[in-house]
Amino acid sequence: MNDIYLRMQIAGAQKDEADILSILSDIKTGKLKNDLMLLNYHREVPVSYAASVAFIEKDSAELIVNQIQAVVISFEKITVLKSSHFKRDVIANVNYVNVEKSRIILSTFSYAVVRADRRMSVRVELDEPLTASFFHSKGSLKGKLVDMSLTGVSLSVATDPGITASEEGELDILLPKDSTTVPAKLLKTMNTSDGCRLIFEITPSRTSEVSISQYIFRRQLEIIKELKDHPGVN
């Protein structure tokens, strides 16, 4: 969650939440136009649909949502609310989800920065055993692809290879139907529960960009299909 959303305060936690619930109440009664949208990221793919306010309690709200959104929310237990009436984007915890009835109950509202909104290109999480090799001035390493966009990829490796951030080289990416080699620069290294993750910035050529774009598009379709095939969606 911290990778995508960052909670923030404007007038203090309690005042911010009261203001947010007041706006939702005014949307419910029609005092304010309903332009409410929800946003979640499922396997790095943005999922965003309109929503309406069904009921407001003292510190919670029940919303009517799209079933696809409800499926994602059932996984994440959190969602972002967007409206022109809010001072900033809003993040809320999810207390209850009913996919079949398209209902959710939210609480713990606060303003937020959605870091993923600043991404230059769409990123997708991979579930295939795809690999990539990084060739640099001091040698090479091979890892499993975790996610990918047109501007960056991340690799999972067993141990920290000890490469300095900003090291430049080439990434040889093995896609399902072909392979492509792109200039790459290591941005950072992160320790994980199963080893180490390397984050690269890439600058693909036109040919490489086409190959990567086609794969990302196919992967997006697969992820959306998984959501639509959820047993609660009708």
Q: Does position 3 have pLDDT exceeding 90, yes or no? A: no
| Residues 152-192 pLDDT 10s | 999 999 999 999 999 999 999 999 888 999 999 999 999 98
User: With bands split at pLDDT 50, 70 and 90, how would you rate the model's confidence at 66?
Assistant: very high
| Residue 1: predicted pLDDT | 41
User: Mind listing the domains of the chain with CATH numbers?
Assistant: 5-117 (2.40.10), 124-227 (2.40.10.220)
pLDDT for res 116: 67
Whether residue 2 is predicted with pLDDT greater than 60 in this model: the reply is no
Q: What is the mean pLDDT of residues 8-31?
A: 96
Section 107-129 average pLDDT: 82
> For residue 119, what pLDDT band results from cuts at 50, 70 and 90?
low
Q: Which tokens sit at 148?
A: 């990918």
